[in-house]
Amino acid sequence: MSISRARCRTVGAALATAAFTVLSCGGEKGLGREGCAGACSSASDFLSSADVQRILAQGSVEAQARGARATLAVVDRVGNVLGSFRMNGADPSFRISSGRAVRGGLEDARFASGDALAAIAKAVTGAFLSSEGNAFSTRTASQIIQENFNPREFSQPSGPLYGVQFSQLPCSDIMRSGSEGMTGPRPSPLGLSADPGGLPLYKEGRLVGGVGVISDGLYALDPDITDIDEDPDELIAVGAARGFMAPGDRRGDRITADGRTFRFVDSEDVKSGAATIPALAAIPGATVAVDGFFSGIIRSGIAFRTPESGFRFDTGTFADLKGVVLVDERNQNRFPPRAGSDGLLTANEVISILRNALMVANRARAQIRRPLGSAAEVTATVVDTAGEVLGLVRTPDAPVFGTDVAAQKARTAGFFSNPQAAAELQTVPRAVYPATGDSVLPGSSVTLMRQFLNDPTALSNGLAYSARAIGNLHRPFFPDGVAGRPPGPFSPPYSNWSPFHVGLQLDLVINAVSGSASGVGCAFLPKIRNGIQIFPGAVPIYRGSQLVGAIGVSGDGVDQDDMIAFLGLANAGVALKTGIANAPRERRADLIEPFGLGTRLRYVQCPQAPFNDSTEHNVCADF
The helix (run of H) or strand (run of E) holding residue 581 is: strand 580-581
Q: Are 198 and 219 in contact (CB under 8 A)?
A: no
Name the minimum Å distance from CB 261 to other proteins. 5
Name the minimum Å distance from CB 234 to other proteins. 16
Nearer to other proteins, 208 or 449 (CB): 449
Nearer to other proteins, 278 or 373 (CB): 373
Name the minimum Å distance from CB 587 to other proteins. 11
Nearer to other proteins, 111 or 566 (CB): 566
- In angstroms, what CA-CA distances link 218 with 113, 199, 213? 13, 17, 11
- In angstroms, what CA-CA distances link 250 with 35, 37, 253, 264, 396? 9, 9, 8, 10, 17
Q: For 45-142, list the strands marked E by DSSP.
A: 71-76, 81-87, 94-96, 110-111
- The Cβ-side half-sphere exposure at 377, using a 13 Å CA radius, reads 24
Nearer to other proteins, 204 or 253 (CB): 253
Nearer to other proteins, 123 or 567 (CB): 567
Name the minimum Å distance from CB 620 to other proteins. 4
Nearer to other proteins, 186 or 254 (CB): 254
Nearer to other proteins, 259 or 544 (CB): 259
Name the minimum Å distance from CB 561 to other proteins. 14
Nearer to other proteins, 28 or 258 (CB): 258
How far is Cα 285 from Cα 290, in angstroms, rounded to an integer?
15
In the sheet that holds 81-87, the strands lie side by side as: 198-203, 206-214, 71-76, 81-87, 285-287
Q: Does residue 244 sit in helix, strand or coil?
A: coil
Name the minimum Å distance from CB 223 to other proteins. 15
Q: Are 210 and 130 in contact (CB under 8 A)?
A: yes
Site of interaction with other proteins (CB under 8 A): 6, 9-10, 13, 150, 153-157, 225-226, 228, 253-261, 263, 365-369, 372-374, 472, 479-482, 485, 557, 559, 566, 585, 588, 590-591, 593, 595-609, 612, 615-621, 623
Name the minimum Å distance from CB 461 to other proteins. 16
The helix (run of H) or strand (run of E) holding residue 468 is: helix 467-473
Name the minimum Å distance from CB 52 to other proteins. 31
Nearer to other proteins, 249 or 404 (CB): 249
Name the minimum Å distance from CB 167 to other proteins. 22
Q: Are 363 and 383 in contact (CB under 8 A)?
A: no
The answer, yes or no, to whether the previous bond of 150 is cis (omega within 30 of 0) is: yes
The helix (run of H) or strand (run of E) holding residue 196 is: none
Nearest to 387 by CA among 274, 269, 490, 540: 540
Nearest to 305 by CA among 136, 120, 133, 76: 76
How far is Cα 431 from Cα 516, in angstroms, rounded to an integer?
10
